Amino acid sequence: MNTVMVKAQGVRKRFGTTEILKGIDLSVERGSVTCLIGPSGSGKTTFLRCINHLEKVDAGRLYVDQQLIGYTERNGRLHEMKPRQTARSRLNAGMVFQRFNLFPHMTVLENIVEAPIHVLGRSRDEVTAEAHVLLDRVGLGNRGQAYPRELSGGQQQRIAIARALAMKPKLLLFDEPTSALDPELVGEVLDVMKSLAEAGMTMVVVTHELGFAREVSDQIVFMDQGVVVEAGPPSEVLGNPRQERTRAFLSKVL
Ligand SMILES: Nc1ncnc2c1ncn2[C@@H]1O[C@H](COP(=O)(O)OP(=O)(O)OP(=O)(O)O)[C@@H](O)[C@H]1O
């Protein structure tokens, strides 16, 4: 089996006339955790959204599980994916957003089971049984019948993680999953993420939580102004950065 889950080669993305990603090269190994760090506006979220096909890559190639994002290859030529193919390819990755976006009129359980039933066409009984296991996994086994408004922000984010897992994604993408939370609720979400990492989930995490990044990452990627300045294990990128730009950023945030 190929060991690479995400491969980016020269990925470029512009909004209007402004180029936000200026040629990203990056590899994410299957079963590993990669944290993307860097100053505000450096393109971390945009890159994550490209991996999940929420943004279209303008140039370069981006593969998830060896599948080229956004294009299919026929007779040696690349063709843009049709919307249906796009929707299918997006299922490879589950995304957890800063704001949990749970459906307010549905119970916790309904929030988790609706997509597997309606998007994947799976049986309600089977998916409901799995949802209970997922709720236990995020420490909320007894809250299936609650509505999102009855839960704290940290609990809602843990439900959002369970909802993403219910689609059985090949990798999980997290976009600053704790930055909308009260500080005392951050730890409970990070603990769930740590347990997923220990269970071997492939994860790409945009985060400002450098303690978490240091503890959990196999790879830290420092991005600045649309490029990868430095990538490597935490001991190198956080402990002994080679690039002056990395050192300057860390001296401000550590
Ligand atoms: N849909 C869009 N249209 C126009 N500009 C955009 C769009 N999305 C992002 N941008 C711009 O792209 C730049 C990079 O944004 P991005 O959110 O990727 O950065 P980031 O590194 O994740 O920053 P932060 O840490 O603040 O979330 C920003 O200047 C942002 O304003």
pLDDT tens, residue by residue, 231-244 = 999 999 999 999 99
Average pLDDT over residues 249-254: 92
> Does residue 44 have its Cβ closer than 6 Å to ligand 1?
yes
| Tens digit of each residue's pLDDT (9 = 90 or more) over 46-56 | 999 999 999 99
The predicted structure's pLDDT at residue 149: 96
Q: Please name the residue whose Cα sits nearest to atom 2 of ligand 1.
A: 15
The predicted structure's pLDDT at residue 84: 85
Cβ neighbours, 10 Å, residue 67: 14
| Average pLDDT value over all residues in the chain | 95
The predicted structure's pLDDT at residue 80: 86
Nearest to 221, CA basis, from 2, 3, 1, 11: 11
> Does residue 15 have its Cβ closer than 6 Å to ligand 1?
yes
* pLDDT band at 44; cut points 50, 70, 90: very high
The predicted structure's pLDDT at residue 119: 94
The predicted structure's pLDDT at residue 5: 97
Q: How many domains is the chain partitioned into structurally?
A: 1
How many Å apart are CA 186 and CA 181, to the nearest integer? 6
Residue 173 has pLDDT above 90, yes or no: yes
Cβ neighbours, 10 Å, residue 179: 13
The predicted structure's pLDDT at residue 153: 96
In the chain, % of residues over pLDDT 70:
100
Residue 1 has pLDDT above 80, yes or no: no
| Tens digit of each residue's pLDDT (9 = 90 or more) over 198-250 | 999 999 999 999 999 999 999 999 999 999 999 999 999 999 999 999 999 99
Average pLDDT over residues 165-190: 96
How many Å apart are CA 178 and CA 60, to the nearest integer? 31
In the chain, % of residues over pLDDT 90:
88
Which residue among 40, 223, 249, 252 is best mutated to probe the pocket of ligand 1, counting the most ligand atoms within 8 A of its Cβ?
Answer: 40
Residue 183 has pLDDT above 80, yes or no: yes
The predicted structure's pLDDT at residue 82: 87
- Cβ contacts of 180 within 8 Å, gap of 6 or more: 98, 99, 153
Model-level pTM greater than 0.90?
A: yes
What CATH number is given to the structural domain containing 153? 3.40.50.300
The predicted structure's pLDDT at residue 199: 96
Which residue among 36, 44, 48, 49 is best mutated to probe the pocket of ligand 1, counting the most ligand atoms within 8 A of its Cβ?
Answer: 44
> Does residue 142 have its Cβ closer than 6 Å to ligand 1?
no
- Cβ contacts of 84 within 8 Å, gap of 6 or more: none
Q: Which domain holds residue 180?
A: 4-251
Looking at per-residue confidence, does 80 or 158 come out higher? Answer: 158
Residue 105 has pLDDT above 80, yes or no: yes
Looking at per-residue confidence, does 85 or 21 come out higher? Answer: 21
Residue 31 has pLDDT above 80, yes or no: yes
- Cβ contacts of 220 within 8 Å, gap of 6 or more: 34, 35, 37, 213, 214, 231, 232, 233, 234, 237, 238
* pLDDT band at 86; cut points 50, 70, 90: confident
Nearest to 47, CA basis, from 19, 18, 70, 24: 24
How many Å apart are CA 38 and CA 249, to the nearest integer? 7
Reduced to 3 states (helix: H, G, I; strand: E, B; else coil), residue 209 is coil
Query: H or E element: which one contains 213?
Result: helix 210-216
